[in-house]
Amino acid sequence: MRRFTFAGRTCVLTGAAGGIGAALTLELARRRAALVLVDRDAEGLERVAGLARELGGADVSTYVIDLADGKDRGDLAAEVSSRLGGADLLVNNAGVTLSGTFEQNRLEDVDWLLEINLHAVIRMTKAFLPQLLARPGSHLVNVSSLFGLIAPPGQVAYSTSKYAVRGFTEALRHELEPRGVGVTVVHPGGVRTGIALNARLSGPDADGVQAAENRKFHETALTLPPEEAARQIVAAVQSRRPRLVITKEARAADLLARVLPARYWTISQRVARRFQ
């Protein structure tokens, strides 16, 4: 499959108002792609879109959409097809997380997370798949997580969604690559986004333990600039890499989980304590 070229190609991106999504938007704008930006944050979306236009985005349009609403996105796909001829690149990037153990989590919060992290990925992909198949050399990117490779305590709902995105993407790749559509699953680890600070507190937290843990995780574990993550994702799309694990710590955790699938968490905790 030939390398993906961005200039003049139509790129649809969810979660574009902040974090990796915003950084990706600007990377794609520098390559003169036409951008279709989706997020529920109207103010943040317009800010990022303005920056993308200044950088030379061929065409930048925004859609304020809450991916938790359960809609099939057929209307969005139809509009992109009518106005721009169809999508060449779909990046399912939007994601959320919960705080607390599974015992603490409310089922309605778990459903909310799965709707955004998993079902929206499936719905967006289904809606845009006819366009990707119809446009030679198109590409699909689904953003999983380090927690789609390892499953820590306190992240049951999030890991469930991200492992599912991983499996969905890998199986779909085996269907689509023979038909000329590139597919990449991305596993970011430790990227400095607001996902931990914006985590939904699910269950009782009267003493503020969950919120404090989220702040500590944001400050100590999320260190890679989102711009660097975006650069790596764009490079992976361009070279048609099927799998991208971001940060050396995430790659080490991935290797450990594959070598010792039943013991990796115990071992990783022992190693971590040595450096505390």
List pLDDT tens digits, range 12-46.
Answer: 999 999 999 999 999 999 999 999 999 999 999 99
- How far is it, in rounded angstroms, from Cα 220 to Cα 204? 24
Looking at residue 218, its pLDDT comes to 47
Give the global pTM. Answer: 0.92
Beta bridge partners of 38: 14, 63
State what percent of residues in the chain have pLDDT above 70: 90
- How far is it, in rounded angstroms, from Cα 59 to Cα 249? 37
The catalytic residues are 158
Long-range Cβ pairs for the range 248-253 (8 Å, 24+): 249/189, 249/190, 250/146, 250/149, 250/187, 250/188, 250/189, 250/190, 253/146, 253/149, 253/150, 253/189
For 202-258, the pLDDT digits (tens) are 877 655 776 676 566 646 666 789 999 999 999 999 999 999 999 998 999 999 999
Q: Domains plus CATH for the chain?
A: 10-248 (3.40.50.720)
Beta bridge partners of 11: 35, 89
- How far is it, in rounded angstroms, from Cα 119 to Cα 79? 21
Q: N- to C-terminal Cα distance for the chain?
A: 46
Of the candidate ranges 162-171, 255-264, 265-274, the one whose mean pLDDT is the lowest: 265-274
Q: Are 165 and 94 in contact (CB under 8 A)?
A: no
Q: Reduced to 3 states, what is the DSSP secondary structure of residue 141?
A: strand
Looking at residue 196, its pLDDT comes to 63
Which uninterrupted H or E stretch holds 200? strand 200-201
Q: Are 124 and 44 in contact (CB under 8 A)?
A: no
Average pLDDT, the chain: 92
Closest CA to 48 of 69, 68, 20, 76: 20
For 88-126, the pLDDT digits (tens) are 999 999 999 998 899 999 999 999 999 999 999 999 999
Q: For residues 185-207, give the mean pLDDT.
A: 78
Pair of tokens at residue 94: 């939007």
- How far is it, in rounded angstroms, from Cα 56 to Cα 53? 5
User: What type of residue is 193?
Assistant: T
Q: Are 126 and 87 in contact (CB under 8 A)?
A: no
Q: Are 15 and 25 in contact (CB under 8 A)?
A: no
